[in-house]
A and B are shown apart, each in its own frame.
Chain A
Amino acid sequence: MVTMASLRAARNRSGARPAAPPAWLVGAGVLIALLGLLPIGYLLVLAGSSEDAIPLLLRERTLGVLLRTLLLAATVTAASVLVGVPIAWLTSRSDLPARRAWTVLTILPLVVPSYVGGYAVVAAFGPRGALQSLLEPLGVARLPELYGFPGAALTLTLFSFPYVVLSVRGALATIDPAFEEVSRSLGRGPWRTFLGATLPQLRPAITGGALLVALYTLSDFGAVSLLQFDSFTRAIYVQYRASFDPTLAAVLALMLVACTAGVLIAESRLRGRARYHRSGGGATRRASVVRLGAWRWSAAAFCAAVVGLAVVVPVATILFWLGRGIGAGEPIDLVWGAAGNSVLASGLAAVLAVLASIPVAVLAVRHGGVIGATVERATYAGFALPGIVIGLAFVFVAARYVPSIYQTLPLLLVAYLVRFVPEAVGVTRGSLLQVSPRIEEVARTLGRRPGAVLRQVTLPIIRPGLIAGGALVFLTAMKELPTTILLAPTGFDTLAVRIWSATSEGFFARAAPPALLMVLVAAASLWFVLRLERER
């Protein structure tokens, strides 16, 4: 029996590592992998070749940026947990009124780009914002100071707490209700049951969601720059604009990457362990609904307050300024040029990312081994790097080695490619896993070379997946800000850049039309992602 089992294992292994991949496939994969590693590699070279790097690293100002960033990340994360865990529990386990509606509404903020959120917060509550202009007739001349830490923390919490909601809701759905029933039968009330039986099991999910929030906060550029809080991303941008010496910007960028890498490593460790906490096999019953009794309407008010700030206020603010702008004769058609640029750049990025994802996914899924795994991981580097870091690295590389492509569309597209290829690889990989390798083998026996099999069999079969991946990249690229700010050709305004620059300069009415379009794009991408997940 032992030998048979081991032989079986051997056969299974053989299925996972067939003949060596064709050279052109490896070539394409390695090229894409190198591109993915280029930003971090170049920043390391840049910082490493400068004698100032270590002193810069330890300078008081640098450490100040580090502390501010960590403080912001910690605050936003804690606040998101405090808001997100109750909402997750209320929307999945209680008799909250209109539970379904809250479920969707509390996830919606996630897809609003942070600079649109920042715009909404500034244009609503900032000096000369909507609230003040409504209150002015009542004699209110000044609102509490918004810029800096409070505004940045508020904005980022409002638009990232759904990560915690999603993660905790997922865990609540898989926890076996038997634990809670046992606790109740042992004489504990609902509240003590939640604290004693449910919460401990939710800990991995809460930590997972919290780490995503932390990652989002660390990489965010839009909100912190609009709310003028000097965390890493804004400091990097300011430093880059202020001087042509790239060293300090590179050092700051590397420190930021170190922070995000730490979070990512913690997250992946946790994800590996989280499986432990799932309930065993068998049909899991639905947990019984907890009656909130007198608390029912307070709970609804809490949800309403959160949704009001994170969904209603942005939409109302955009509509308010849209009305003001139209009233004041602000030309709306200016937005179409930017929209056209957004569509052009994002569309090309989507096509490139999907094309690049094919060799990477084929290597990873069909050939595996050291090459496949390495290539796949290298492309995921783009996922771990904040947009500002990728943008900065390509600015430096282009300015130093190929000035002719600096501030051209191709360079922007290359940066987009590095940034978004992980998303495309994810989708392509998923569809490829659905295609039995036997189908490709049959095609080989019918006289096709590997390249022809890919063209005539594999790609036609996974075409829906490729289109989905392209659409996903398109929608994400539409929302991209920092890379675009750093690399877009002069005068090539996208919707994102238009919102950001108009808000920075206080032209709230001018930012409203592109912000509205962006919210629609965001809603489309949410709908799309949900549909994609349902199909899995």
Chain B
Amino acid sequence: MPWSPPVTMAPMADTPDADSTPALRTLSLTKRFGEVVAVEEVSLEVRRGEFLGVLGPSGCGKTTLLRLVAGFERPDAGGIEIDGRVMTGPRRHLPPEERRVGMVFQESALFPHLDVAGNVGFGLPRRSRAARVAELVALVGLAGLQHRMPHELSGGQQQRVALARALAPDPALILLDEPFNSLDATLRSQLRVEVREILRSAGATTLFVTHDQGEALEISDRVAVMRAGRIEQLSTPSELYLRPVNRFVASFVGEANLLRGEVRHGEVMTLAGRFRAANGTLADGVRAEVLLRPEQLHMLPVARLSSPPRPESVLRIVRRVFHGSEVHHVLRSPEGVELEAATSSSATLEIGTEVIVHARAREVPVYPLPGDSAPAA
């Protein structure tokens, strides 16, 4: 039996503190497949109305996490609450049909034997169906296409129908599993903005899985970066970019220059200068890496310097990558380390130019190198 959704989209207020209850909470969620741990000790909260992205390389467990929340998989340990109701816990496992989640998959998975109205109305009780279907079809901008069959729709239209179908019963949570993956690049960036707007105007709470960092950063309120079943960092897109907690997050989110150096007087000495750790203090003698984004690195051609630089800090431009408004210069150090420095497209330097680099930032994320706290020489 389909559960009956309330007619309006206002958040349900059946408990006094309904608004402070998170829409989704997972507690130490763990799922193994044989010997492989797909999801390990994942605890996260999604607030009402929030759009939370789960970002990670393929195989990191993000899809399994989504399927656990939806109820398609049963966790080996941990619990799941949706709107404060226990979905999964010790001796309890609600099937997907009782969870009030709406799902949109990578392939639109529309019912091929039903038209647009039939698809959108599938989860609705018969009496309120027609009006609600019309409302939803209009919301996703497909008014007038109600009687098209799925194969008569474009890829983008199919995904919008899938979204309308998921939203129709007013679920507590919308789950998006790489929903833009099967679309081409232009349509993709256009549709993700539209989808975000639709979900915002519907007041929906969303958990969104993707391996595309641009996508995640662009439309999420907060992003959880996953690796090997664990959440490495959960924060706002700008936090992720500016203050990644470790090397993996730093290089997975945006482009990262990790410059090695030794700590002296609390500062890491690198070829781009000396930096203080923004994320803690460092003992002298430790070797560490500092994170500098390409736009933080400034190049100075050696030819324009008044005094000759130390030879080990001279880099040569080996490649240029055009990105539209900016150009990335790939630099190579005498030891073969490659760095990237961005300039605006109007201020590029020629390939082969010898430069030194520096950064204006003084406090940057620093990651001590493992097992290297006391260098021998």
Contact = CB atoms under 8 A, between A and B. Distances in A.
B105 A445 contact: no
Contacts of A3: 228
B366 to A, nearest CB: 26
Contact of A13 (B3, B34, B122, B229): B34
Given A18-B72, A446-B2, A6 B102 contact: no
B63 A445 contact: no
Contacts of A443: 111, 122
A447 B97 contact: yes
Given A443-B122, A461-B112, A438 B97 contact: no
A443 B107 CA distance: 14
B57 interface: yes
A18 B70 CA distance: 13
B74 interface: yes
Given A445-B70, A445-B102, A7 B122 contact: no
Given A19-B72, A19-B74, A447 B123 contact: yes
Contact of B58 (A8, A13, A457, A461): A8
B165 A442 contact: yes
A433 to B, nearest CB: 15
Task: Determine which residue in A9, A441, A448 has the highest number of CB atoms from chain B within 10 A of its CB, and name it.
Answer: A441
A200 B351 CA distance: 59
A243 interface: no
Nearest to B106: A438
Nearest to A7: B59
Interface in A69-128: none
A11 B38 contact: yes
Given A445-B99, A449-B97, A8 B59 contact: yes
B113 interface: yes
A1 to B, nearest CB: 10
Interface in B62-76: 63-64, 67, 70-74
A14 B38 contact: yes
B352 interface: no
Interface in A389-425: none
Given A4-B59, A7-B229, A13-B33, A448 B73 contact: no
Contact of B2 (A7, A442, A447, A461): A447
Contacts of A461: 111-113
B112 A445 contact: no
Contact residues on B (Cβ < 8 Å of other chain), bracket: 35 or more
Interface string B72-116: 111000000000000000000001111101110111011111000
A489 B295 CA distance: 88
Contact of B166 (A7, A436, A445): A445
Interface string A310-331: 0000000000000000000000
Contacts of B73: 14, 18-19
B97 A10 contact: no
B365 interface: no
B60 A7 contact: yes
B109 A442 contact: yes
Contacts of A8: 58-59
A7 B111 contact: no
A444 interface: yes
Interface in A1-50: 3-11, 13-14, 18-19
Contacts of B72: 18-19, 441, 444
B13 interface: no
Contacts of B36: 6-7, 9-10
Interface string A214-258: 000000000000000000000000000000000000000000000
A64 interface: no
B294 interface: no
A10 B99 contact: no
B249 to A, nearest CB: 16
Nearest to A441: B72
Contacts of A11: 33, 38, 59, 61, 63-64
B1 interface: yes
Interface string B27-38: 000000110101
B261 interface: no
Contacts of B99: 445
A439 interface: yes
Given A441-B70, A446-B122, A460 B113 contact: yes
B169 interface: yes
Nearest to B121: A446
A19 B73 CA distance: 7
Contacts of A441: 70, 72, 96, 103, 105, 109
Nearest to B73: A14
Given A10-B38, A18-B73, A461-B113, A445 B103 contact: yes
A7 B228 contact: yes
B111 A457 contact: yes
A457 B112 CA distance: 9
A5 B166 CA distance: 32
B132 to A, nearest CB: 13
A141 to B, nearest CB: 68
Contacts of B102: 445-446
Contacts of B33: 10-11, 13-14
B109 A4 contact: no
Contacts of A14: 33, 38, 64, 67, 73
Contacts of B98: 447
Contacts of A19: 72-74
A217 B72 CA distance: 49
Task: Determine which residue in B63, B101, B109, B169 has the highest number of CB atoms from chain A within 10 A of its CB, and name it.
Answer: B109
A10 B33 CA distance: 6
Contacts of A447: 1-3, 97-98, 123, 169
Interface string B1-24: 111000000000000000000000
Contacts of A442: 103, 105, 109, 111, 162, 165-166
Interface in A455-476: 457, 460-461, 463
Nearest to B57: A4
Contacts of B34: 10, 13
A11 B63 CA distance: 8
A399 to B, nearest CB: 47
A431 to B, nearest CB: 12
Contacts of B70: 441, 445
A447 B100 CA distance: 8
A11 B74 CA distance: 14
Interface in B230-264: none
A531 to B, nearest CB: 21
A99 B64 CA distance: 55
Task: Determine which residue in A8, A13, A444, A445 has the highest number of CB atoms from chain B within 10 A of its CB, and name it.
Answer: A445
A259 to B, nearest CB: 41
B169 A444 contact: no
Nearest to B4: A447
A9 B61 CA distance: 11
8 contacts: A7-B59, A7-B229, A11-B63, A14-B73, A441-B72, A441-B96, A444-B95, A447-B169
Given A4-B58, A8-B59, A19-B73, 17 more contacts: A4-B57, A5-B59, A7-B59, A7-B61, A7-B228, A11-B38, A13-B33, A14-B73, A436-B107, A441-B105, A442-B165, A445-B96, A445-B123, A445-B166, A446-B122, A446-B165, A457-B113
Rank and list the top 5 A-B pairs by shortest CB-CB distance, nearest first: A446-B123, A447-B2, A8-B59, A10-B36, A444-B96
Interface of A: 3-11, 13-14, 18-19, 436, 438-439, 441-449, 457, 460-461, 463
